[in-house]
Amino acid sequence: MISSPFAGARRARSLPAGRISITLAALSTVAALAVPALTTDAAGDTASGQRTATRGWFTSWAGAQHDLAPTPLRDQSVRMISHLSQGGDALRIRIQNTFGTTPLVVDAATVALTDGKSAATQERPEPVTFTGRHEAVVPAGGELWSDATVLSTRAGSDVAVSLSVSGTVVPGLHRTAFRTNYLTAPGAGDHTRDTSAAAYTETTESTYLVTAVDVHNPRLKGSLVAYGSSVVDGVGSTDCGPGCTQFGADRRWADVLARRITSELPPTRQFAVANAGVNGTTSAPDCPHLAESVRGLDARARLQRDVLALHGVTGVLYYYGTNDLPAGCDAQQVLASYRDVFRRLHAAGIKVYVTPVTPRPGYTDEHNRVRHTVNSFVSKWNNCSGTCDGVMGFDQVLKDPLKPNSINPPYDTGDGVHVNIAGQQVLADTVSLPMLASSAQR
């Protein structure tokens, strides 16, 4: 059993764990466990996420914001589904208004278990509070962490996070959720406590507003963050072959790796896995042919927000560089970004595991020369020339044995860039679990 600081609240109210909501006023220990609720982007790196982990909190799911939704929310509710890599006896959520230009007003928020197949919940949703209040305002460019809410979850649980948004606001999103999320009609108001799916008449394949879910589980030894561009983000992970799609099946290689961890590592070496991939991004910030839509979303620019601000992070799985080459960056630009990111992660006490740049048939000879230089740096001594803690051999497992600058056809979605479900599986199977376990908190 998990030793929980919330056990006293359960006994006091004589209710099951999935039916209790805790506020700061109700339980003094939550104040000690909670992070500061309202923040804006930090000026520098901090180790606050690592310190919080000593209190048993770990980020179990994430979805990095990178844009604004095409249409605003107008006095309506959203229900976003988060697939947890690990469970616990309580959770808390992060709401972001990173790209917003006006304040985000949240009238109510709830969490509930769901089967992930509809907007219906399995039990009555539990209210979520923010420093003891049911309402919250997130300023433009800001973010908000909730208080702890008792909800018993396990590895692989799907959690419905519902928010009622007041007024008119354009929400930030993570576009490639690869699952269905739900909205009520504009003007419908607060339906966060609904168990039924009836009010959630609209759908989206993006995740709005919610960017992280923490679980309270002192048994966990850390949270591992997959950090990179489209293959981390999951492009290809719904492709199970010609005419076959597995939408909402959580088949990204990071998802598969999370399941490997729960089934293959002992109970004393369990980790959460959070995904911080953003499609189309680069490691280096100043590639000359970079698309405007992803400018300012490079690995260095979003490191604080999407990795260091998460909780209990002990390791990062770094899969970047594939887009830097066609965007026109040379080897020195890529390596400069690698060194800077790795240095900042190490300064925060986080271990770094890196893959060499994987092949693409569309790379020119010059691209492949840059790739060779970068990969020689990563592979040297199996620790990025002394700057990282281990190497994941994704380049070797994906390459076509007959055409080594291309992806092996059984793993190729057909675009020469992304890998299908079989490719996602082989990437996850390639990662050394003993290597990752070396990042465990002592």
Query: What count of residues does the chain have?
Result: 442
User: Is the pLDDT reported for residue 39 higher than 50?
Assistant: no
- Give the pLDDT of residue 6: 59
Pairwise CA distance, residues 424 & 239, whole Å? 10
| Residues ≥6 apart with Cβ < 8 Å to 69 | 170, 171, 172, 173, 204, 206, 208
Yes or no: say if 420 and 236 are a contact pair by the CB < 8 Å rule.
yes
- Give the pLDDT of residue 42: 36
CA distances from 127 to 112, 161, 192, 223, 257 (A): 9, 10, 8, 26, 32
- Give the pLDDT of residue 45: 53
- Give the pLDDT of residue 15: 37
End-to-end CA distance of the chain: 20
Residue type, 346: H
Average pLDDT, the chain: 91
- Give the pLDDT of residue 5: 58
- Give the pLDDT of residue 224: 98
Closest by Cα among 216, 412, 389, 246 to 312: 216
- Give the pLDDT of residue 33: 45
Element counts in the chain: helices (H) and strands (E): 11, 21
**Which letter does DSSP use for residue 414 in this model?**
S
Tokens at residue 132, please? 């003891």
CA distances from 377 to 102, 239, 305, 320, 338 (A): 44, 32, 27, 14, 10
Pairwise CA distance, residues 327 & 292, whole Å? 11
What does DSSP say about strands 207-208 and 390-391: parallel, antiparallel, or unpaired? unpaired
* pLDDT-above-90 percentage for the chain: 87
Q: What is the mean pLDDT of residues 77-88?
A: 98
Angle, helices 421-430 vs 253-264, to 10°: value is: 50
* pLDDT-above-70 percentage for the chain: 88
Q: What is the mean pLDDT of residues 85-89?
A: 98
User: Is the pLDDT reported for residue 25 higher than 60?
Assistant: no
Instruction: Considering only residues 26 and 113, tell me which one the structure prediction assigns the higher pLDDT.
Output: 113
Give tens-digit pLDDT for 279-309.
999 999 999 999 999 999 999 999 999 999 9
441 pLDDT band (50/70/90 cuts)? confident
Q: What is the mean pLDDT of residues 328-337?
A: 98
Output phi, psi for 196, to 5 deg.
-75, 155
User: Is the pLDDT reported for residue 396 higher than 90?
Assistant: yes
- Give the pLDDT of residue 338: 98
Give tens-digit pLDDT for 45-73.
544 444 444 489 999 999 999 999 999 99
Tokens at residue 437, please? 């376990």
- Give the pLDDT of residue 168: 97
Give tens-digit pLDDT for 171-217.
999 999 999 999 999 999 999 999 999 999 999 999 999 999 999 99
Pairwise CA distance, residues 402 & 26, whole Å? 64
User: Is the pLDDT reported for residue 1 higher than 50?
Assistant: no
pTM metric for this prediction: 0.91
Residue type, 33: L
Give tens-digit pLDDT for 88-129.
999 999 999 999 999 999 999 999 999 999 999 999 999 999
User: Is the pLDDT reported for residue 32 higher than 70?
Assistant: no
What distance lies between CA 63 and its chain's CA centroid? Answer: 4
